Every structure is written in structure tokens, then in C-alpha cells.
């Protein structure tokens, strides 16, 4: 995204040097309160971090000096890396606007329950205001006076609470007009005082229902501030607000604020494949081929990490990294292995394998999990005190934005990411540094990520700027005191006056067609005849299973710094007996339904629609398609074991073939009821 603040950087710096002319006296006093006593350009220790301070001052400048007509007509966007402290910045803005502008109402929108629960823990009882010392002594309010109401958080809600609270925190879906609760909450806000709106995790906002909610709130919104660590979406859309500040992964690495990501991949020599008839389950023959030849077989990418043998090998690599992290921790905390699966059934299989095959205490968290397991996931870092802490947690995409457990030291990817947003969010779960009394803030910390070359995630590692170093010992574990290579220097704008400002299009300009420009392909129109297109899909019933993988070595790459690469010889996994998850018929039916819902959500996200709003429509179309193609019109409930296993084996093909038809998902959404 284009940084809209860049043309004003020179004026902004002069404004800072001259003592913030043009702002309200109360704003000047608040800035002075946060300023270091010995450096009038820096924040006071214990309040805001340097990059939070920079973002805060740009928000002040945009709001009071430039004004909405110049910048932020739809809102201001702040892009700060995971672990960069967006919540503290939000709290500083709230304290300033209450102190200097007498704003008494603040609304915080977030995309899911995990983000909501984290924000509730930070704001409840004024915790973040006290911890960061954000309220001046001469203010007519204190931290405990900023009353929080969390919608759906177990407490009371309704109009009375929405009117009386200073901070209203809610999931965006609790303001949708498509449900009566959302209509009531919106009505309460629109009948109350004007407010400042925080759109947290703003990359989720380019979806029709979310946009409609923001539009409805606009007449009462004094200022809208969007916050995110990943402004780009999988469908190419971005928030409509003006980007004014960026603090990237590279910036945070240069400042030592986050862990250094290190990626480990196996280097594979040969592969044994077994051919299975998906309809009958009959295994016909096995074939051993060289790694260089596997591409001709067209294997599904996730098979390299979800078939039984490769999954166990990837887990063995990940657990080796966990050993290294435990040595670095020196008993001060329990490092956590975070396993990311593609679907609920694979997550259950991964948790079962870790718990019973590798004997590693593992927590499983999916959409089916109860509140107790979700609470355990949030408190994994505190579980060491119990004497039997979890060492691993397995999830699908439940633990994304808002799940902040700094003890996550190893991430095992058992899925392929096609979305830059989801990929960065998952890696972000391991970037937050572990902090504590016995931990030196400057000691090196890494996040070990176990990947597979066939998942083709190089684009993700490029985001973190992968570098290599050779001739590293292949036998020894990392020494916990080894200094990581220094990160790349932070890139800063040094000559803002040279930034070219792009003017708005001239409405009177007429293109004479003098140049031939390459036009990007148009987005496929929704298929009105989507039912015929879906019914015309043909499937290949034979599948290939990876039954043995010979790994030559494991390669490690450090990301985001001067960089190094290491090679480690692979030790075969000792046979511990077959540990495969055998689901009951009812459990298999549930797994099929859950995976179809996940497929519907993934397809909708790729097509640019809000999954929460349309997944039921797409799911219904997919389940009818499954009945037609694989069950002879029968329902899942009336189907036997053999038919259910056939459907389960065919689901990867279903997703692939459906997403390959342009406009099919859009057609289901737009014309599903016709």
C-alpha cells in the first residue's frame, strides 16, 4: 500500500522540532507528559516504545494539523508488525482524545473472539493505561474511570451498558444488520454520542457486510483508526483508510523487538508411493522414485505433510527444534510447539500422533473445542507452574490474530498457505519475544519454523528477507548462547521532499489510446449457471499415498538478518508402532462436514466474499455436489463406511476443481437461491 503520509514528512519533522505548533494546548500538555525529560523527541521510558511514539505523533498531526479533508477522510491506517504493541498505541490515543478533546466514547471492532478476549484483558479495569502510565495526574479521569463493555463477553450488555460505557469492545459480527442483536447494538451507538472508532485487524474489513457496518457508523464517527499487521488481503483488496505509518518485520528485527525467524526444511532423496483406489480403499502397488521425479505425479502439496510417514518425520524435525529451544530457555519458561493443520480431521490426527506416538503433551484447539480448551490455549505460557505443562498445541486457523503466547518457539506447518495474510499471521504467532525478570531483553531469541519444500512457501520467506550462510556444523545442537547474525539496518525515509505525490485523476482527461497498455485480466463474472458447471466436474478416483520418505538432511535458513544456512544430517525415526487415528462412522461424518465448511470458507476468502456471511450457502452447494458425485444421491447420514471414506479421500480434489472454475463461487453467492 502507498504511504499517504510520505508527502508530509518534512513538514511533520519541522512541526516536531518547533514544539508542535497549531495543536490544542491540552494536546501539547499531553505530548509533553509522554515525552522523555532529557530528550524532547523521544518517549518517556515505560510509556510508548519508539515506533509507537512515531505512530502516535503522526495520528495527532493528521487529526489536528492536516485534518480529515487532507488525510484520513475514510480513516487513518497504522501497519505495525505482530508483537509491535498495537494495543498500547490504541490506549495512548484514547487517553489523549479524552484528555485534550473531551471524547468520552470509543468503539473497538475486532474480527474474532480471540482478538476480543485479548483486548478485553488489556483494557479491563484500565490495566493498559496503568501499566504504560498513559494518564496525566492533572487529568479529570483515571484509568479505572474508563469503563469497558465487552459485547458477548459474559457480562451484561444492551442499550444501558452501551450508553454508560466509555469503551465498547465487540466482534464486528455483533454489529451486522443481518441479525437482530447487531441491529440493536448499531441502533444504540447511533443514538448515543459521537465516538472514535478503532478497526482492529483492519485487513479483514474489505468484505460487503463489514463495509456496510463501517458506512453506517460513519455519521457518528469522529475519527476512525484502522490497525493491522497485514494490510493486504488474499483477494487483493485493502482497507479504504489512508496508510500513515508502517513498522515492518524488518524494522522490528533491526530494533530487536521480535524473535528472529529460522526456517528448517528437509532435503529429500527418494520417496516411496502407494497407489490406492479411493472408492474401494484397495492398495495396488508401490513405487520408489527419486525426489527429482515426483513433480510428474501431480501429488497434492499437503500430502507431503499430512500423509502418515511424512507427518511423523516433520514432527520429529520440529521436536528436535523444541529440544534446542528448551536448552535456550534454561528452565525459565516452557517453549511451545505450535502445529498448524489444514482441517479439523488432520488437526486431530496430528494431536493424536504427538500425544501417543511421540509422548508429547499436546492441546488440540479447533472450532469444536469448548471454552475451557480455548482458555488453556490463551494461558499456555503460564502452564509451566502446574508441573505438567503442555509442550505443543495443534490448531487449524483458530489461533491467528490476537493469540499471543510469547513462549511459542517452534511452528510446524502441516498446510500450504496461498494467502499472504494468513501466512504472515501464523508466523506472527511465534515472533513475540519472551519477556520476564530473568530474561535479558537483548539476549538472542529465535522462532524455529519447520516447513516443507513442496509447500512452496518461498514467497513467505522472501517477506522476511531470507539469507544464507554455509559451512555450519551439521551434528551439534545450537548453543543457547550463540549470537545470531545482526539484522539488516532499518530502512527509513531520509528525503521525503523527493517523494512524488500522485495527483488525483483529472475528470476532464480523455485517453486517446496513444499507448498500448497491458490490462490486467478482469475478475470473472459470477456464473449464473453455476449448478451446471458444478455438475460437469469429473473426478479421478485413484489416489497416491506417500508411504516412505528418505530424508538426506535438514536445512535451516535464518530470515531477516545478515543470514546463514545450516545443514544437519537426518536420523531416521525409530519405529514405535502404528499410530493412526481411526475415526468412528459418526466422527468421520462430522469430519467431512467440518472440512466442507472449512473449504467453503477458504473458497469464499479467495473469491473476496466474507466467509462468515456466505459459508452456509456455499456449504449447502458443496454437500449437494458430494451427494450427487460420490453417494448416488444419498445423505451422509445414510451412507456406509466405505462411501464415507471415499468422500473423505476425494475432498482435496473437490476443493481444487471447484476453485479452478472462474466465477463459480461468485455464482453460488449471487445466484444461489435462483
Task: Mean pLDDT check: name the lowest of 92-96, 429-433, 498-502.
Answer: 498-502
CB count in 10 Å sphere of residue 416: 17
User: Quick check: 168 and 105 in contact, CB under 8 A?
Assistant: yes
In this predicted structure, what is the pLDDT of residue 89? 96
In this predicted structure, what is the pLDDT of residue 478? 42
260-266+294-489+553-569 homologous superfamily: P-loop containing nucleotide triphosphate hydrolases (3.40.50.300)
Distance CA(258)–CA(568), nearest Å, equals: 26
Mean pLDDT of 453-459: 84
pLDDT tens column, 505-514: 555 555 555 4
Distance CA(88)–CA(92), nearest Å, equals: 6
Mean pLDDT of 477-482: 42
Please work out, in degrees rounded to the nearest 5, the angle formed at the alpha carbon of residue 210 by the alpha carbons of 204 and 215.
125
Distance CA(646)–CA(630), nearest Å, equals: 8
Percent of the chain past pLDDT 70, that is, above it, reads: 78
DSSP code at position 524: P
DSSP code at position 255: T
pLDDT band at 477 (very low <50, low <70, confident <90, very high): very low
CB count in 10 Å sphere of residue 302: 20
Task: Mean pLDDT check: name the lowest of 278-282, 332-336, 459-463.
Answer: 278-282
Question: One fold for both 6-247 and 260-266+294-489+553-569?
Answer: yes
- H-only helix segments in 365-510: 371-378, 420-428, 458-463
Q: Maximum distance among all alpha carbons in the chain?
A: 81
Distance CA(623)–CA(593), nearest Å, equals: 8
Q: Which residue has the higher pLDDT, 550 or 45?
A: 45
Cell of 642: 466405505
User: Quick check: 63 and 72 in contact, CB under 8 A?
Assistant: yes
Q: Which residue has the higher pLDDT, 582 or 106?
A: 106
In this predicted structure, what is the pLDDT of residue 602? 82
Of residues 455, 51, 493, the one with CA closest to residue 253: 51
Q: What CA–CA distances, in Å, run from 622 to 413, 593, 600?
A: 27, 10, 8
In this predicted structure, what is the pLDDT of residue 173? 82
In this predicted structure, what is the pLDDT of residue 183? 86
Tell me the CATH number for domain 6-247.
Answer: 3.40.50.300
Cβ contacts of 511 within 8 Å, gap of 6 or more = none
Q: What CA–CA distances, in Å, run from 371 to 3, 86, 378, 502?
A: 40, 26, 11, 50
Of residues 428, 371, 343, 355, the one with CA closest to residue 363: 355
Mean pLDDT of 241-264: 86
Distance CA(669)–CA(667), nearest Å, equals: 5
Distance CA(259)–CA(409), nearest Å, equals: 9
Q: Which residue has the higher pLDDT, 488 or 336?
A: 336
Amino acid at each position: 500500500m502507498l504511504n499517504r503520509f510520505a508527502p508530509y514528512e518534512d513538514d511533520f519533522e519541522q512541526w516536531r522540532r518547533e514544539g508542535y505548533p497549531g495543536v490544542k494546548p491540552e494536546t501539547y500538555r499531553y505530548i509533553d507528559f509522554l515525552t522523555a525529560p532529557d530528550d524532547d523527541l523521544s518517549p518517556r521510558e515505560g510509556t510508548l516504545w519508539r515506533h509507537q511514539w512515531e505512530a502516535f505523533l503522526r495520528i495527532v498531526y493528521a487529526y489536528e494539523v492536516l485534518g480529515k479533508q487532507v488525510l484520513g477522510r475514510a480513516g487513518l491506517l497504522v501497519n505495525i508488525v505482530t508483537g509491535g504493541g498495537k494495543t498500547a498505541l490504541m490506549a495512548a490515543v484514547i487517553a489523549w482524545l479524552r484528555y485534550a478533546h473531551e471524547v468520552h466514547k470509543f468503539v473497538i471492532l475486532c474480527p474474532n473472539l480471540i482478538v476480543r478476549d485479548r483486548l478485553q484483558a488489556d483494557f479491563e479495569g484500565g490495566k493498559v493505561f496503568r501499566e504504560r502510565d498513559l494518564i496525566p495526574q492533572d487529568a479529570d479521569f483515571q484509568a479505572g474511570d474508563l469503563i469497558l463493555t465487552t459485547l458477548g463477553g459474559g457480562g451484561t450488555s444492551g442499550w444501558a451498558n452501551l450508553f454508560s460505557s466509555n469503551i465498547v469492545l465487540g466482534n464486528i459480527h455483533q454489529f451486522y444488520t443481518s441479525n437482530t442483536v447487531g441491529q440493536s447494538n448499531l441502533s444504540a451507538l447511533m443514538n448515543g454520542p459521537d465516538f472514535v472508532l478503532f478497526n482492529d485487524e483492519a485487513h479483514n474489513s474489505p468484505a460487503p457486510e463489514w463495509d456496510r457496518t463501517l458506512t453506517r457508523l460513519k455519521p457518528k464517527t469522529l475519527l476512525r483508526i484502522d490497525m493491522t499487521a497485514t494490510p493486504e488481503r488474499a483477494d487483493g483488496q485493502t482497507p479504504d483508510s489512508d496508510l500513515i505509518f508502517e513498522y515492518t518485520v524488518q524494522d522490528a528485527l533491526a530494533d530487536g523487538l521480535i524473535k528472529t525467524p529460522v526456517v528448517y526444511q528437509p532435503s529429500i532423496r527418494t520417496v516411496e508411493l502407494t497407489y490406492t483406489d479411493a472408492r474401494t480403499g484397495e492398495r495396488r502397488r508401490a513405487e520408489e522414485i527419486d525426489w527429482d521425479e515426483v513433480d510428474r505425479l501431480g501429488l497434492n502439496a499437503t500430502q507431503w505433510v499430512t500423509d502418515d510417514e511424512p507427518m511423523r518425520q516433520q514432527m520429529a524435525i520440529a521436536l528436535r527444534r523444541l529440544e534446542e529451544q528448551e536448552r535456550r530457555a534454561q528452565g525459565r519458561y516452557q517453549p511451545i510447539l505450535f502445529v498448524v493443520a489444514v482441517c479439523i480431521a488432520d488437526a486431530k490426527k496430528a494431536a493424536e500422533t504427538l500425544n501417543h506416538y511421540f509422548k508429547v503433551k499436546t492441546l488440540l484447539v479447533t472450532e469444536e473445542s469448548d471454552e475451557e480448551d480455548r482458555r488453556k490455549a490463551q494461558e499456555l505460557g503460564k502452564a509451566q507452574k502446574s508441573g505438567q505443562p503442555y509442550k505443543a498445541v495443534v490448531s487449524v486457523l483458530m489461533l491467528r490474530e490476537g493469540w499471543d503466547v510469547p513462549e511459542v518457539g517452534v511452528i510446524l506447518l502441516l498446510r500450504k498457505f496461498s494467502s499472504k495474510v494468513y501466512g504472515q499471521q501464523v508466523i506472527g504467532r511465534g515472533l513475540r519475544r519472551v519477556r520476564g525478570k530473568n530474561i535479558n531483553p537483548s539476549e538472542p531469541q529465535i522462532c524455529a519454523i519447520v516447513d516443507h519444500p513442496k509447500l512452496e512457501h518461498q514467497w513467505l520467506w522472501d517477506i522476511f528477507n531470507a539469507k544464507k550462510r554455509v559451512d555450519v556444523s551439521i551434528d551439534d545442537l545450537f548453543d543457547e548462547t550463540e549470537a545470531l547474525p545482526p539484522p539488516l539496518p532499518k530502512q527509513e525515509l531520509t528525503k521525503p521532499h523527493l517523494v512524488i505525490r500522485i495527483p488525483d485523476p483529472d475528470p476532464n482527461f480523455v485517453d486517446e489510446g496513444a499507448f498500448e497498455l497491458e490490462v490486467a485480466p478482469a475478475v470473472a463474472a459470477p456464473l449464473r449457471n453455476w449448478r451446471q458447471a458444478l455438475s460437469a466436474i469429473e473426478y479421478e478416483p485413484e489416489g497416491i499415498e506417500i508411504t516412505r520418505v528418505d530424508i538426506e538432511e535438514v536445512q535451516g535458513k535464518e530470515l531477516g538478518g545478515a543470514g546463514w544456512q545450516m545443514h544437519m544430517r537426518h536420523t531416521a525415526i525409530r519405529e514405535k508402532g502404528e499410530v493412526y487415528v481411526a475415526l468412528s462412522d459418526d466422527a468421520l461424518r462430522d469430519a467431512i462436514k467440518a472440512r466442507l465448511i472449512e473449504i467453503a470458507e477458504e473458497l469464499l476468502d479467495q473469491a473476496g466474499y466474507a466467509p462468515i456471511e456466505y459459508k452456509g450457502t456455499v456449504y449447502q452447494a458443496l454437500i449437494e455436489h458430494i451427494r450427487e458425485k460420490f453417494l448416488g444421491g444419498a445423505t451422509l447420514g445414510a451412507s456406509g463406511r466405505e462411501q464415507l471414506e471415499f468422500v473423505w479421500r476425494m475432498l482435496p480434489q473437490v476443493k481444487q476443481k471447484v476453485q479452478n472454475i472462474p466465477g463459480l463461487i461468485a455464482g453460488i453467492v449471487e445466484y444461489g437461491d435462483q
